[in-house]
Structure 1
Amino acid sequence: MLSFFKKNKTQTIDIPAPITGKAVDLSHVPDPAFAQKMMGQGIAIEPSEGKVYAPFDGNVAQMFKTKHAIMLEHSSGVQMLIHVGVDTVSLKGEGFQAHVATGDSVKKGQLLLEFDIAQIQAAGYPVITPVIIPDGQDALQGVEEYTGSVTAAQDKVLTITVS
């Protein structure tokens, strides 16, 4: 009789930084939706270079039209939002260059997006970049966050637990 019941397997996945810089707590983001974790758990990165790399093999679930944000999907089904800067949607794509599109498959370490830090700051926007595991994902069991200096596609910023 027990053979009819499937054991619930959990898996932990280490997620490296998608951007080189300093990983900080979300409370540092000057936007309450991110700072108060209304959108999900994660970290923010104060970038030292304007490049976003794939932190894992997966797919581009959405490349926003204004290129300021990208949603990636891991093979486990868990999605991650990388939102370059705060209120940068207002730039309407200026200062951003996408190297992938919605639906593309990506490999860990692949360049996804470039952004001009100086241009964003000159327009009056912070470049601190939230890296979020959005709430409401069924498979998601937990998120552990790590801060400090990070190199893109190398240093761990999150460990997610999925079932």
Structure 2
Amino acid sequence: MFSKWRKKTEESKVIEIFSPVTGQSVSLTEVPDEAFAGGHMGKGVAIEPSIGKLVAPFEGTVAHVIKSNHALMLEHSSGLQFLFHIGVNTVSLKGEGFVSHVATGDKVKPGQLLIEFDIEKIQNAGFPVITPIIVTNADEVTSNIETIFGPVQAGSDVILKAVIKS
């Protein structure tokens, strides 16, 4: 009878995002591009990859694959949207050195191969291969994002923890 007067308790949910690439997780400030380093694209981390494979860090939906296959967006069931951008200015390569294994609208499972990329080819073309991982809608969905730095193994190590707004 009095249940409608009870104060609702806010529950927060923590989402852990695993690394989509193997390498070294670093601060976005280390990305040699002001759009990423300055946080203008969103909150996140960057990874210096040691292996040229981008895998799905969670079960989700491919929201968009960039035509040149150097980047894609994934949506998590929580509503979080992520941009995975392989390298800096790599759009200039017009897809050379990148092979996408997914298309917009595909459902993906953790560990599924999304994009293969040739680290040496990217570096030989004069581009940094550092890979920003950006939460593009963090302000809408989360109340806090924690970033984790250090060596990471794709699919095994957490790089981001997000507290979802209730």
Q: Taking structure 1 as the reference length, what is the TM-score of the superposition?
A: 0.94
TM alignment of 1:105-116, pairs within 5 A = 105-116=107-118
Aligned to 1:102: 104
Aligned to 1:44: 46
- Partner-residue secondary structure (3-state), 1:153: coil
Residue deviations 1:94-137, cap 9 Å, x none? Answer: 10000000000000111110000011111110000001111465
- Show structure 2 runs of 5+ residues with no match: none
Q: Is the 8 A contact 1:78 1:137 kept in 2?
A: no
- Partner-residue secondary structure (3-state), 1:121: helix
Residue identity matched to 2:42:
G
Aligned to 2:57: 55
Aligned to 2:4: 3
Residue identity matched to 1:101:
A
- Partner-residue secondary structure (3-state), 2:140: coil
2:74 to 72, 75, 81: 72
Cα separation, partners in 2 of 1:66 and 1:9, compared to 1, 3 Å: same
Cα offset for 1:140? 1.9
Cα offset for 1:8? 4.0
The structure with the larger Rg is: 2
- Show structure 1 runs of 5+ residues with no match: none
TM alignment of 1:116-135, pairs within 5 A = 116-135=118-137
- Over the matched positions of the two proteins, sequence identity in percent amounts to 53
In 2, Cα distance between the equivalents of 1:78 and 1:107?
16
Aligned to 2:36: 34
Aligned to 1:21: 23
Cα separation, partners in 2 of 1:6 and 1:138, compared to 1, 3 Å: farther
Q: How many residues were matched structurally?
A: 163
